[in-house]
Structure 1
């Protein structure tokens, strides 16, 4: 098991990866943060916090965002072209 510091760093890294992926998918879909928030039934500040890695994405938010983007939930967690 990794140390607490190492585990915290891993969590932060993955949170930022999910946020970057969310931002990329949102912009590829041609949506603003406000438009995505409206589609997902979320506050636009939630989208901003998720994209910036300041908020952990819960399963509920993950599902709302994925369907608002027209993708499968796993696509926010993992790029299809990355092994």
Structure 2
């Protein structure tokens, strides 16, 4: 995981972490929905299987190029992955960092 920038607020670091975790959840779910293993998606997206594992666990951020490759491998438009990630990140922030 990246070293926190001392100039970045805790709230911003929490937001970024929530997005990484949420994208990992969404990617794992989408991969399962189409019946792909991590290895299968890695091959289609031209990345390594450990990279898929790190993305799914939220320890690795995704570049825009990698987002497009993952979406293409899943057969899902990238904007769908992003929208689902936004929804899931909001749930995670509410539940993990700002519980009611």
Q: Same fold (TM over 0.5)?
A: yes
| Mapped pair 1:78 → 2:83 | yes
Measure the CA separation in 2 of the matches of 1:48 and 1:68. Answer: 15
> Corresponding residue for 2:98?
none
Secondary structure of 1:54's match? coil
> Corresponding residue for 1:12?
17
Alpha-carbon RMSD across the aligned residues, in angstroms, is 1.1
Secondary structure of 2:16's match? helix
TM-score, reference length from structure 1: 0.89
> Corresponding residue for 2:51?
46
Higher-Rg structure is 2
Structure 2 spans left out of the alignment, 5+ residues: 1-7, 88-100
Measure the CA separation in 2 of the matches of 1:16 and 1:7. Answer: 14
Secondary structure of 1:46's match? helix
> Corresponding residue for 2:5?
none
Q: Higher RCO, 1 or 2 (CA under 8 Å, sep at least 6)?
A: 2
TM-score, reference length from structure 2: 0.74
Q: CA deviation at 1:48?
A: 0.4
